[in-house]
Structure 1
Amino acid sequence: MAYREALVGSMEEFIHYANLIIVKRQVADPSITDEQRRMLARLLALEEAKRFHGKDDGHTER
């Protein structure tokens, strides 16, 4: 059971990391509006900040 939990955790971390890369590319896309860029940059900053507030299960309560 612990192996499965570690594997699922690793998959979730991989997907999270891949999604961050996608959003970073979108922020750099010159075809989006400044408003879209600000929104994506804000969401990206919030997601990246989660890493520095401790790792529990990858989800934070709001």
Structure 2
Amino acid sequence: MLSNRLAVYRAEKEWTQQELANRVNVSRQTIVNIEKNKYTPSVVLAYKIAHAFNVEITNVFIYKEEE
């Protein structure tokens, strides 16, 4: 399972979901669904998001094997 810390990083930057969406060129709804773990981003989008926050991808996205 892939979880994420998007909301945490957005709060630190004081960005809205729309601001992040604009920075990575996706819709706000895409950001909403990623934050709610309803959508798994492509590897490219995951890297774009991490790059927007200026952190490593593994700081934003956490993979845990399902038991």
TM-score range for the pair, normalised by the shorter chain length: under 0.3
Q: Determine which structure has greater relative contact order: mean sequence separation of CA pairs < 8 Å that are 6+ residues apart, divided by chain length.
A: 2
Greater helix share, structure number: 1
Larger radius of gyration: 1
Higher percent of residues as strand: 2
